Homo-oligomer: A and B are copies of this chain.
Amino acid sequence: MTDETIAGSADATLSSRELERLRAELDRVDAELRDRLAERIACCVKIAQVKREYGVPMMQPHRIGIVQERAAGFADRNGIDRDFMRRFYDLIIAETCRVEDLVIGAAGGSE
């Protein structure tokens, strides 16, 4: 082995170890992200149950506006792409509306 190949192999070991460490960190963050997502959906189910019980109208469009505005502000402060953040919450809100519909038992849309 030349000095160069030894150095190269040391580099490869170093980068593998570093990547392994970062991927373990990513897996931990992902587990928490999934837990929060499940918690969010569970919270919306509870909201839907209260709405059903008391006959409160299903959707409050101004709440969606608040959630999206907060998300946009957060994106700006944290260097996250605004469009991605909007699509991220569009997806989550659409799913929670769908789940709320199921809980409330409405066959109609969630406008």
A93 to B1, CA, bound (A): 40
Residue of B19, B36, B95 touching A36 (CB-CB under 8 A): B36
Determine whether A71 belongs to the interface, using a CB cutoff of 8 Å to chain B: yes
**Distance in Å from the Cβ of A80 to the closest Cβ of chain B?**
6
Q: Which residue of B lies closest to A54 (CB)?
A: B15
With known contacts A30-B40, A71-B34, A15–B91 Cβ distance under 8 A:
no
Count residues of A near B (Cβ-Cβ below 8 Å): 46
**Distance in Å from the Cβ of A79 to the closest Cβ of chain B?**
9
Q: Would A19 and B56 count as touching, CB distance under 8 A?
A: yes
Residues of chain B lying within 8 A (CB to CB) of residue A27: 70
Residue of B32, B50, B67 touching A15 (CB-CB under 8 A): B50
> Per-residue CB proximity of A27-48 to B under 8 Å, as 1/0?
1011011101111110110110
Residues of chain B lying within 8 A (CB to CB) of residue A38: 74, 78, 80
Q: Would A56 and B15 count as touching, CB distance under 8 A?
A: yes
Considering only residues 38-72 of chain A, those with a C-beta below 8 Å from chain B are 38-41, 43-44, 46-47, 50-51, 53-54, 56, 63, 67, 70-71
